[in-house]
Structure 1
Amino acid sequence: MNHNYFIESMPNIDSNSELREPQILAYQAIQEHFVQNKSDEHAVVVLPTGVGKTGLMGIAPFGISFGRVLIVTPQLVIKDAVLDSLDPDHPQNFWLTRGVFSKYEELPAVIEYDSKTSEWELNQADIVILNIHKLQERLDNALINRVSHDFFGMVIIDEAHHSTAPTWERTLEYFSAAKVVKVTGTPTRSDGEEIKGKFVYKYPLSQAMASGYVKSLERIHYVPDKLYLTLDKKDGTVYSVEQIRDMNLKDEDWITRSVAYSKECSLKVVQESVAILNEKRSTGVPHKIIAVACSIWHAEQLEELYRGLGQEVALVHSKLKKDDLDTRLKAIENHKVQVVIHVAKLGEGYDHKYLSVAAIFRPFRHTLPYEQFVGRVLRAIDKEEAVTEEDNIACVVHHKELGLEDLWKFYKEEKEKSDVIKFIDREGESFERLTPTKIDKMTGEVFEDAGGKLERDSFINTELLLERERRLKEENEKINRLREILPTVPEEALRQMVRREEEGTAAAKILRPDKFITRKKRNLDDIIKKEMVPEVILDYNVSKEGTELGDSKLFSGRSYKWIPQRIRNNAGMIAAYLEFRVNELVGNSNRNTWGPEEYEAALGHVDDLYEHLRRVLDSEFRKEG
């Protein structure tokens, strides 16, 4: 095993136009810190969600790490996302898609550590990826109990605001000889503790928005004309929220909690979030709402409200069995739902670029969880896919009386600062640790009068928001001209006439859905069996009846070893590999239950899989071009 892989490799980084500028600049800052400055201090990098933290982790070791690299993540959702991006066997692995390397055989050997990982696998690996729980010393099979303290040349901590917890600190103490890189999009903790290390690079969220790496952001909150509450459900006396505050009858926590659990208040936010979603989805992009609830019971009430408005919902929480969770996550990825409701499950690290409306139904008391939730809607839609500027403007929607003003102000102002280090690295400042307190869960009944309004607040006046203003102004001018010709037609009908003119003809209706599905299935089968398999057989000069492809790395993974064992010819092995992996990525092996969405997803996946297959075979057959 070559332990100098990261020193001897020749990646394309500094002049790579496929990498984002903050990724390259962060890499150069890490290199300067450890190589030029020869520092032993931990290097801290701040990159907002969606800018490319995983990609940075993929290039950070090159030219810097003498030895293997350990990547530690704080939870399973993040670990799976990192592993997918850096898995050499994944069709969309970062190094090849971003041109860091051009050949499969140049890639680092990557493993996911678990209790079944063998000594041989550990020794063969260049990169080991695991969840922090696999490092706990109390577990006999914990990595920290199986390898020497100098086993790794670099340790990369993802979501580094967790790294002051005891398990993280013990890990870094054990691997103290390794260079440590800490990457985070949230450089502060709820308890005020600082991230240890030198902040070598930070990229502000405002700059990420201006550069189009993440969505622009605006807030819309519902403001009732009057809000009334009861103090005791047994007493029907109602008080306005102003009376409760003026008379000091209840504290703000009680008010915000009562509003959060009020079905009437929630319905207003549900209705507004769905209205925003419908507007966004009119472009054809599969935008979604992500909603956060106080509890599983509360989430189920919200699910009922959204379903009442005709929305398909995926409810995700920590009590779900793994199979149920995987099914719901696949439904999100394959656009089978319009609304995702989560309870402390899809926070940091969950990435789905079509989450564009953040609906808040719980009071946030601290900045960190609020930022992490809002971060879920910031990942940008690709420019090639976005139809209008609206596709890359995210919305945060909530009731005004949830008490989120200070957090929005913090979010807005802090992310505009060019120097987040001054906020974090405050020498000598002490912070009061949070202490457990008894939580009052009592609420009052809440009533609103019929009136109310929506207030809009933009995060930053980006070009997207300016373009939207221009488009709406132009649209209103056309409506006014139409109104002169058609004075009796309602305004909404005029607006739809203008938009249909701009969008062109509507998509054709599927009049024979049975034949539609049959055509889709035949199309997928033909692509695999009549195009891809013959090309492989001819291009690599192998016999269709032969078995030599059974030794390919394609079938080395645990999930694919069965293919050459059961299918004894090259053509069948390639077809089975593509068919099986397509089903795997779609998340449903029973094609009899597939609808249009599954076939569309499959047609997208199969090209990526075929490209990956050819890269692997190129490396084995040393095929040029």
Structure 2
Amino acid sequence: MSYFKSTPVNILGNNKLRNPQLEAYIKIQDYFTKNPQGEALVVLPTGTGKSGLISIAPFDVSNGRVLIITPGLVTKDSINKTQSQLDDNFWINYEIIFNIDHQPIINEYETDISQEHLDRSNIVISNIQKVVNNFGSSLVDRVPKNYFDMIIIDESHHSTAESWQKVLDYFTGAKKLHVTGTPYRGDNQPIPGDKIHETSLSEVMRSKYVKFLKKETVNSAELYFTINDRPGEKLTLEEVLELKDRTWIEKSVALSTECSLEVVKYSVSKLNELKQLSPQVPHKILAAACSIDHAESLVNLYKSTGLRTEIIHSEMDKDSKDRIFKKIENHQCDVVISVNMLMEGYDHKYLTLLSLFRPYRSLNAFAQIVGRVLRVISDEEITDFDIDNNATVIFHEEIGLNHMWSEFQKEIDRSKVAKIKEYTLSDFVSDTERSVNQLAEIQVDGTYISSQESFLTEYDFNALFEARKAQILSETTNKKKDLEQLGWDPEQIKLLEKALYDAELKKFSKEIDPELLEKRPHQARKTLRKLIKEKIDNLTADLLSDLNIDPKGTELAPRFSTLVYNLAQNTPNDGTIVRYIQTKLHKRFGAIDKRDNETLKVSLDIISEYIHEVRRLING
């Protein structure tokens, strides 16, 4: 049995993982069980946990080695850091694996890597340029076609279809998984693969997995243009539109020092507001420039306001880039000006303000740069979520980005619909039915998750692990004190303390690992039921936002009363839709506590179809 099939992992039921990660993981498992040589696509918004999903995706799925392909060095470094033994190791920090000895063997593909090290790998990481090239030193030149059982392609929209196709054609028998934040390539062609899961931006904003997002534009009180054909003449916007196209105007605004200065001043004022409200959080501005020359002019504008400003661009050598990244990480700058950099794979949560000094023609590129400011700052660092996790995108009104922004605005509007409250049966039925059935809620309608079912909470492996870690820490601390009193060398004590801690964790792992394997179906059941509820809630909120219907109004209940048994006339609109969806699921699949795991998966998949049905019913 392969490493990924035999290793005990805590994934389903793990309360440290986010719902989008769990749902995507379940879809990945299900898809490759049915399509062992298939090609799948998962779309997760930036900041939702894409690198984490990549880290868990092979477990209980892959029958052999896994190849993770990234588009470039920054993204590769981001994935590497997630899986590093020394950095923020995802498997350990998120309690996926309890025993450090059970972690996979990871190697980065370099041309000089020995075949022995390559063969010992469970995971090989590389960028696309090293997997396939014309120099005879690529990975496909080193290994046979059946070398990998699973290929995970991170952000494949950055490369041309031809480069990916060479890889996929070579490893044709492998499971192929694309994971991306946006489902289009740079050439605006869709990424290949069956789209098995997509999490909306509205859902992750509503759940506070990412920052809130808003747009603020700068509009000059008086905007004049000069053109070569009419030297010395100042033309208004309306006048120049008769002579030039909109693209010319947008480029002129982007490169105008006067227009740029307005955006600079406004973004600096917003940064100063943030620092005044929350001085302990090192918020920063990310600025996107048209070219290196343009970026250098913006550096001067920002520096003139007194802010520490750095520029980073694709033509810098690696040492220079690393030096700038280190300055950013160490909060030695306030403004980062980017030219075709930081587009992907660079995750610095303190980038909160985005100043755009260039037009975008591709929604993919626009979405990627906006994604740089979405990563959430943790609760223990902030003054208030609404202050510190409220990203602002700033640009000039005439730079031509409002049509791009409209795609985000729809998701933002949806996200503002509050999460649906925990309804009980008494919220939905009439007063008469309520009095008759006070002691028999489950008999009236079996569609709702009853408080009488335990939800299998007795298998909370996170809680067990945290309790055991606390106990081990207490024991090792006491032993440390004893050794200090005996006069041991501090360095020796430190080494012994770590050895004792690791040994006790391994001992605990041996105790808990059989349980992890045995309880996988139970954990899957618990997770599926949670995801069904969350998906109904989120899609209902999105629908009400799209139709501009007040979630707490009551106009839908009379219209659905003939479709939903004993629906009270004063049921809130969100509750009416939830009840309708649950009724449909119950009629088709039976009571939720009686459904097996496969039926629960189908229930999860069909919710979107029922939401479309509700939309048709409401629209008539």
The answer to which of 72-81 and 319-328 deviates more is 319-328
Q: For residues 73 and 206 of structure 1, what CA distance do their matches in structure 2 show?
A: 26
SS in 1 for 2:380: coil
Q: For residues 219 and 265 of structure 2, what CA distance do their matches in structure 1 show?
A: 14
Match of 1:258 in 2: 252
Match of 1:584 in 2: none
Letter in 1 for 2:394: V
Percent identical residues: 40
Match of 1:20 in 2: 18
Q: For residues 73 and 543 of structure 1, what CA distance do their matches in structure 2 show?
A: 48
Pair 1:324-2:279 in alignment = no
Of 80, 84, 98, which aligns to 2:81? 84
How do residues 250-399 of structure 1 correspond to structure 2 at under 5 angstroms?
A: 250-282=244-276, 283=278, 284-388=280-384, 389-399=386-396
Match of 1:169 in 2: 165
Displacement of 1:461: 3.2
Q: For residues 137 and 152 of structure 2, what CA distance do their matches in structure 1 show?
A: 21
SS in 1 for 2:233: strand
Q: For residues 622 and 203 of structure 1, what CA distance do their matches in structure 2 show?
A: 36
Q: For residues 459 and 306 of structure 1, what CA distance do their matches in structure 2 show?
A: 35
Pair 1:70-2:25 in alignment = no
Displacement of 1:319: 2.1
Of 392, 402, 407, which aligns to 1:405? 402
Does the 8 A contact of 2:355 with 2:394 survive in 1?
Answer: yes
How do residues 492-571 of structure 1 correspond to structure 2 at under 5 angstroms?
A: 535=480, 571=492
- Deviation string for 1:406-441 (max 9, x for gaps)? 11113333x47xxxxxxxxxxxxxxxxxxxxxxxxx
Match of 1:596 in 2: none
Match of 1:103 in 2: 99
Pair 1:49-2:85 in alignment = no
Displacement of 1:614: 7.5
Q: What TM-score, normalized by structure 1, do the two folds share?
A: 0.67
Q: For residues 493 and 142 of structure 2, what CA distance do their matches in structure 1 show?
A: 41
Q: For residues 242 and 349 of structure 1, what CA distance do their matches in structure 2 show?
A: 41
SS in 2 for 1:289: strand
SS in 2 for 1:316: strand
Gap change, CA 1:253 and 1:336, over 3 Å in 2: same
Letter in 2 for 1:273: S
Q: For residues 376 and 462 of structure 1, what CA distance do their matches in structure 2 show?
A: 24
Gap change, CA 1:190 and 1:164, over 3 Å in 2: closer
User: Which of the pair is proportionally richer in helix?
Assistant: 2
Does the 8 A contact of 1:289 with 1:340 survive in 2?
Answer: yes
Match of 1:249 in 2: 243
SS in 2 for 1:314: strand
Does the 8 A contact of 1:70 with 1:155 survive in 2?
Answer: yes
Displacement of 1:40: 3.3
Letter in 2 for 1:58: S
Q: For residues 480 and 321 of structure 2, what CA distance do their matches in structure 1 show?
A: 38
Letter in 2 for 1:301: S
- Deviation string for 1:576-599 (max 9, x for gaps)? xxxxxxxxxxxxxxxxxxxxxxxx
Gap change, CA 1:110 and 1:33, over 3 Å in 2: same
Pair 1:213-2:212 in alignment = no
Gap change, CA 1:5 and 1:615, over 3 Å in 2: farther
Displacement of 1:348: 1.7
Gap change, CA 1:571 and 1:324, over 3 Å in 2: farther
Displacement of 1:155: 0.5
Displacement of 1:616: 6.1
CA RMSD for the aligned pairs?
3.0
Gap change, CA 1:408 and 1:620, over 3 Å in 2: closer
SS in 2 for 1:231: coil
Letter in 2 for 1:402: I
Gap change, CA 1:622 and 1:393, over 3 Å in 2: closer
Does the 8 A contact of 1:317 with 1:345 survive in 2?
Answer: yes
Q: For residues 481 and 197 of structure 2, what CA distance do their matches in structure 1 show?
A: 45
Pair 1:59-2:21 in alignment = no
Q: For residues 3 and 176 of structure 2, what CA distance do their matches in structure 1 show?
A: 18
Q: For residues 376 and 133 of structure 2, what CA distance do their matches in structure 1 show?
A: 39
SS in 2 for 1:264: helix
Gap change, CA 1:194 and 1:543, over 3 Å in 2: same
Displacement of 1:463: 6.7
Of 117, 121, 127, which aligns to 2:123? 127
Match of 2:416 in 1: 461
Letter in 1 for 2:44: L
Structure 1, gaps ≥5 residues long: 417-457, 465-530, 546-569, 576-609
Displacement of 1:343: 0.4
SS in 2 for 1:82: helix
Gap change, CA 1:294 and 1:614, over 3 Å in 2: farther
Match of 1:240 in 2: 236
Structure 2, gaps ≥5 residues long: 420-475, 512-620
Does the 8 A contact of 2:209 with 2:376 survive in 1?
Answer: yes
How many residue pairs match? The answer is 450
Pair 1:157-2:177 in alignment = no
Does the 8 A contact of 2:5 with 2:63 survive in 1?
Answer: yes
SS in 2 for 1:236: coil
Displacement of 1:210: 0.4
Gap change, CA 1:623 and 1:231, over 3 Å in 2: closer
Match of 1:7 in 2: 5
Gap change, CA 1:624 and 1:61, over 3 Å in 2: closer
